[in-house]
Amino acid sequence: MESRGQTAEIMIAEARKALWVMVGFLAVIWVLQIPNWLSGYALSREYGVQAWHPETLPGIISSAFLHWSWEHIEANSGPLFVFGFLAAYRGVAKFFSVTALIVLVSGLGEWFTADPDAVGAGASGVVFGYFGYVLVRGVFDRHLIDIVIGVVMALSFAYQFAGLLPQEGIGWQAHLFGFLAGTLGGWIFRDRRPAASKPAASRSAAPPASGGSRSSLHKELDDLGL
């Protein structure tokens, strides 16, 4: 019981870190929005991504922090916080690795496939990356609670899937590649548990308990301190 209590304390500490990481992320993009707006969004044009223009490759990173309007940043902020927190609460260190993968794949995907005459900016590629990661992480990690979270998010934010389809005036390429990167990150950064050695077969071995799934749920709830 003591080990379960320690596990719950670790998870609560990681969740607290995740909360502040996402608050910090949102604070940065909102602070940058002020000089960007005052300059007529010159920062977005200067540090965004323009397909097949090598000088804009650094924009793969910087573009995620810039937006094109107050409506644009408002639309991204809510999902960014929700999906980002859910992606980070199991471990902030892993979350940073997942984020790096999403930013890189989303930005490069946009750079190779978007309209060369358009400049892309916004955190939506990262939003879709976190969305994809949250949907599949529970399956790859075999965490029942995370599977439930993924299903709930898929149902609650089903409209997000429309953002993966080609649309005029929307950087759907960043959305699509970000989503694919998030699902890939769920597999790459999955929990790798050592395979349990199988006990020798015995005639007197007890049959498997019928409440296996229930005990798994109880374990997940105990880990969360619930």
Query: Do 173 and 113 touch, CB atoms closer than 8 A?
Result: yes
pLDDT in tens, the chain (226 residues): 555 666 788 889 999 999 999 999 999 999 999 999 999 999 999 999 999 999 999 999 999 999 999 999 999 999 999 999 999 999 999 999 999 999 999 999 999 999 999 999 999 999 999 999 999 999 999 999 999 999 999 999 999 999 999 998 899 999 999 999 999 999 999 998 765 555 544 444 445 444 555 565 556 555 554 5
**C-beta of residue 80 within 8 angstroms of C-beta of residue 92:** no
What are 112's two structure tokens? 């190779």
At 55 the pLDDT is 97
CA–CA separation, 195 and 192 (whole Å) = 9
Looking at residue 6, its pLDDT comes to 66
The pLDDT of residue 194: 65
- Residue at token pair 């075999």: 142
**pLDDT the model gives residue 47:** 98
Q: Which residue blocks in the chain are alpha helix, DSSP H?
A: 2-38, 42-47, 59-62, 70-88, 92-113, 124-141, 144-156, 172-188, 212-223
How far is 79 from 182, CA to CA, in rounded Å? Answer: 15
Distance, CA of 114 to CA of 171 (rounded, Å): 8
pTM for the structure as a whole: 0.85
**Selection from 215, 221, 178 nearest residue 7 by Cα:** 221
Write phi, then psi, for 181 (nearest 5 degrees). -65, -40
Q: What pLDDT score does 154 carry?
A: 96
